């Protein structure tokens, strides 16, 4: 699986002392070779977000909420992150990009997220590649309320999220379900065995939906070493999740979401890459 990124992610959208910092991408680009991406266009963004949000991010400076800052380079970074996700779909690759996206709602940036890159990539695939059914599998430790909001009621996009609950942002509880929506809330301390058991429900839902493309919102903040959550997963679980995800659709791509321990993040991404690559090793190129 090719990695897609850009050196500019290491300087754009400075966030001061926030966990979501330029260093997250810097440590990954030191470890992995990558293909450079181009930015998404305004048209790409507007398939998922309102014109008002697009213009606000273009012009705003300062804190949008307690977690989310908008600087003079945030708009550039967010477009580049969307472009990385699009390029990942084009190549069946893995986008190493920031800021993350899955909390960004149609009309609101929040939770470190500006534009929802995985949603932008899904809509691009439908508009530009002519794909019909797209599934999004979100294993970030936080619920992707933005992705859920953008695709609410859309029969062509299945959203499946496994996340710690109750937890930020407070959504994704057991009663939030739909025809193309599956939330799997998990208690703090769930650990490897409980998580993998819950993942079976995610696999079953995606297989029933039979997508032409699976996009993975690949957060690594459910790891035991992450400072922001308590699901307590091991490194090896991410290898297993990626391996299983690789078997769920004819096309698979991934987009980095959370993961805030700079010491563990490169190893976690490497584990996921090994998992995604195991399908190619066993079945040949797709």
Interval 26-83: pLDDT, tens = 999 999 999 999 999 999 999 999 999 999 999 999 999 999 999 999 999 999 999 9
Query: Residue 107 has which token pair?
Result: 């009309």
Give the C-alpha distances (Å, rounded to integers) separating 184 from 120, 151, 164, 232.
23, 17, 9, 16
* pLDDT value of residue 279: 55
Q: Provide the sign of the torsion angle of the four alpha carbons 134, 198, 223, 250, taken in this order.
A: negative
Choose among 142, 161, 141: nearest CA to 151.
161
Alpha helices in the chain (DSSP H): 22-31, 42-46, 51-59, 74-91, 117-128, 145-150, 191-209, 235-246, 265-283
Asked if pLDDT for residue 102 goes beyond 50, the answer is: yes
* 49 is a catalytic site residue: no
**CB atoms inside a 10 Å sphere around CB 272:** 27
Residue at token pair 């680009």: 29
**DSSP-derived 3-state class of residue 130:** coil
Render pLDDT for 67-92 as a digit per residue (tens, 0 to 9).
999 999 999 999 999 999 999 999 99
What is the spatial distance between Cα 268 and Cα 192, in angstroms, rounded to a whole number?
Answer: 14
Give the C-alpha distances (Å, rounded to integers) separating 259 from 52, 135, 178, 184, 235.
29, 22, 28, 20, 12
Can you give the pTM of this predicted structure?
A: 0.96
**CB atoms inside a 10 Å sphere around CB 27:** 17
User: Over the chain, what is the mean pLDDT?
Assistant: 96
Render pLDDT for 253-271 as a digit per residue (tens, 0 to 9).
999 999 999 999 999 999 9
Q: Which of 103, 142, 163, 243 is catalytic?
A: 103
């Amino acid at each position: 699986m090719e990695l897609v990124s850009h050196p500019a992610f290491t300087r754009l959208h400075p966030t001061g002392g926030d966990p979501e910092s330029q260093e997250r991408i810097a440590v990954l680009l030191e470890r992995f070779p990558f293909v450079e991406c181009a930015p998404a266009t305004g048209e790409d963004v507007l398939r998922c977000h309102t014109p008002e949000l697009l213009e606000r991010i273009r012009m705003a400076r300062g804190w949008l909420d307690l977690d989310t800052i908008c600087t003079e380079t945030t708009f550039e970074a967010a477009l580049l992150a969307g472009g990385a996700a699009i390029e990942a779909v084009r190549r069946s690759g893995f986008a190493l990009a920031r800021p993350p996206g899955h909390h960004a709602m149609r009309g609101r940036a929040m939770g470190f997220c500006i534009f929802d890159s995985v949603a932008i990539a899904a809509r691009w695939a439908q508009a530009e590649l002519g794909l019909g059914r797209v599934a999004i599998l979100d294993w970030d430790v936080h619920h992707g309320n933005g992705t859920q909001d953008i695709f609410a009621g859309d029969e062509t996009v299945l959203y499946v999220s496994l996340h710690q609950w109750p937890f930020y942002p407070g959504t994704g509880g057991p009663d939030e379900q739909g025809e193309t929506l599956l939330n799997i809330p998990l208690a703090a301390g769930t650990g490897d065995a409980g998580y993998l058991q819950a993942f079976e429900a995610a696999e079953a839902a995606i297989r029933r939906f039979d997508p032409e493309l699976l996009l993975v919102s690949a957060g690594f903040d459910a790891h035991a070493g992450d400072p922001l959550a308590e699901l307590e997963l091991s490194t090896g679980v991410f290898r297993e999740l990626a391996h299983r995800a690789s078997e769920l659709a004819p096309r698979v791509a991934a987009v980095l979401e959370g993961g805030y321990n700079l010491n563990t993040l490169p190893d976690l991404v490497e584990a996921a890459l090994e998992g995604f690559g195991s399908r190619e090793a066993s079945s040949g190129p797709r």
